[in-house]
Chain A
Amino acid sequence: QVQLQQWGTGLLKPSETLSLTCGAYGGSLSGFFWTWIRQSPGGGLDWIGEINYSGRTIYNPSLKSRLSISVDTSKNQFSLRLTSVTAADTAEYYCARKRKSMSGLYYYFYMDVWGKGTAVTVSS
């Protein structure tokens, strides 16, 4: 069973760049989408964006201008880069594996493997 281990900068000042990396251990990146999700303090879950093995990315439109997600297949890792952070970016950030399947006329997507999370605080 694949496990995700994530790491990166936890304390940032406004306008700095957030960088997080997630490594997949015990499984390949191939065949899945690899996502980033965050939860702000006291808030809900927000989808940030995702990437597949080939490097195809999909971003949350609200973050697209500041966001970059990349994949390093040689290291079995994928990374998030968010520029010009503000206090609004303070959150717990999670990486996760997204799967897609179909049943009857319905498609469905689900995140079945998650990293433990990285607490990110943006403060001057």
Chain B
Amino acid sequence: SSELTQDPAVSVALGQTVTITCQGDGLRTYYAGWYQKKPGQAPLLVIYGRNNRPSGIPDRFSGSTSGNTASLTITGAQTEDEAAYFCNSPDSSGDHLFFGGGTSVTVL
């Protein structure tokens, strides 16, 4: 299956750490990409590859993979991190891309 499964929502206290997971068979072969999505804005790439951050993404964002599960961790969450986060990976052929259903992160 190429489906990617994410928990729908999670909350975190300001300054604390939160980990979002993404499960799927394709993650045994491909690293996930992680995107931050805020209302009215285009998705923003925050993590790609093994654990790479694009220029301008704070180092409180990190990624990891184990087996069929990719994780995005925000260490010291800030109010501006409140958003939906989507993982992304292709199917086994590498041709067709899939997104997880998204995890809404609330910073309390």
Q: Write the residues of chain A forming the contact surface with B, with a CB cutoff of 8 angstroms.
A: 35, 37, 39, 44-47, 50, 58, 60-61, 94, 96, 98, 101, 103-104, 106-112, 114-117
Contact between A35 and B88 (Cβ–Cβ < 8 Å)? no
Contact between A47 and B99 (Cβ–Cβ < 8 Å)? yes
A104 to B48, CA, bound (A): 14
Chain B interface: which size bin?
A: 20 to 34
Nearest-neighbour CB distance to chain B for A62, whole angstroms, equals 10
Is B17 part of the binding interface, using a Cβ–Cβ cutoff of 8 Å? no
Q: Write the residues of chain B forming the contact surface with A, with a CB cutoff of 8 angstroms.
A: 29-33, 35, 37, 42-45, 48-50, 54, 65, 86, 88-90, 94-102
Contact between A112 and B102 (Cβ–Cβ < 8 Å)? no
Write 7 A-B pairs (CB below 8 A) sorted by A numbering.
Answer: A44-B99, A58-B96, A61-B96, A106-B49, A109-B90, A109-B97, A114-B44
Among all A-B residue pairs, the 4 with the closest Cβ atoms: A110-B48, A108-B31, A110-B33, A47-B97
User: Chain B contacts of A44 at CB under 8 A?
Assistant: 86, 99-102
User: Chain A contacts of B86 at CB under 8 A?
Assistant: 44-45
User: Chain B contacts of A50 at CB under 8 A?
Assistant: 97
